[in-house]
Amino acid sequence: MKDLAIIETILRNRTFFFMEIRDGIDLPQKMRAMLVSSLIFFALFGAVMGSTHSLWQAMSSAVKLPVLFLATLFICAPTLYFFNILFGSSQSLTQNVTLILTAITVTAVLLLSFAPIILFFLLTTSQYQFFKLLNVAIFSISGWMGILFLSHGMRIVAADGASDESARRWVLRAWMFLYAFVGSQLAWTIRPFIGAPSIPFELFRQLGGNFYTNIFASFGEIFGFIIVQ
């Protein structure tokens, strides 16, 4: 429970928190606490998502969702770090990773706060496409809030006057798109997280298609002009 205390600091004393990151105060402790908290929250949300299909799917999603976010972090963190360096930043890689972890932790907490909503719809409807899109919407909102936190944090941590402010902003914006793109592609690769009805549990589904066309097709099926292939 001690590790969860960091959530309050992030949510209520964010400026203070970011300034500590800027000054390099207790970074390993912060990273550990955020890692533990986000792992728990992602696992719980994953289990709720997977419960629509089967117990196996619930367990699988409880593992896969934390892996998804952490893998995206480790894939994208070096890009942000080196581009920041290129544009004059003096932040360390640890500071960068801590900042991204902050964004991920915020996303995880928000997802946890949405979990009762998902549970409610899980118990009151079983329309697969609706449920899938509901989850996509929740992930988008939570992810966006996390990214806003990252942007805020970057501004504070990088406010040392050494880096080119305008270039740094563009780097961050470009990196956000990259992060979202890598995250969605990785999610597509290690799917399913919810598990389609009428298909038995599978740990990984065969590749094919992509995240965006599938979302489009789901909208199509809900509005009745397309069948999901």
Partner 1 sequence: MSDNQKSTTDQILDLLLDALAERQAARQPEPPVAEDQMETAVANSVAEIAEAAEQGENNEPNTLEAVADAVLAEPPLENLQPAEWEPEAEEIPAIIPEKLPSIHLEKMLYQLSAALFVLIILINIPLNRFGTNLARAMPDEQSIVVRDGLVFKGSGDEIYILEDGKKRWISSIDAFDYFGYRWSQVALVDDGFLEQFEDGRPIHVLLKCNTSPHVYVLEDGAKRWIDTITTFQIEGFVWEDVKIVNCNELRRLPDGLPIPEDAGDPPQP
- Residue 147 interacts with partner 1 (CB under 8 A): yes or no: no
- Residue 112 interacts with partner 1 (CB under 8 A): yes or no: yes
Q: Which of 41, 114, 139, 149 binds partner 1 (CB under 8 A)?
A: 41
Cβ atoms of residues 211 and 132 within 8 Å: no
Q: Is 9 helix (H, G, I), strand (E, B) or coil?
A: helix
Q: Which of 25, 86, 197, 210 binds partner 1 (CB under 8 A)?
A: 197
- Residue 126 interacts with partner 1 (CB under 8 A): yes or no: yes
- Residue 51 interacts with partner 1 (CB under 8 A): yes or no: yes
- Residue 207 interacts with partner 1 (CB under 8 A): yes or no: no
- In degrees to the nearest 10, what's the CA dihedral of 72, 75, 37, 58? 40
CA 14 to chain centre: 19
Q: State how far the Cα of 4 lies from the Cα of 144, in Å rounded to an integer.
A: 22
What does the DSSP assignment read for 8-59? Answer: HHHHHSHHHHHHHHHTTTTHHHHHHHHHHHHHHHHHHHHHHHHTTT-HHHHH
Q: Which is nearer to partner 1, 77 or 132 (CB)?
A: 132
- Residues of the shown chain interacting with partner 1 in the complex, contacts defined by CB under 8 A: 1-2, 4-5, 7-8, 11-13, 15-16, 19, 37, 40-41, 44, 47-48, 51-55, 58, 109, 112-113, 115-116, 119, 122-129, 152, 155-156, 159, 165, 169, 196-200, 221, 227-229
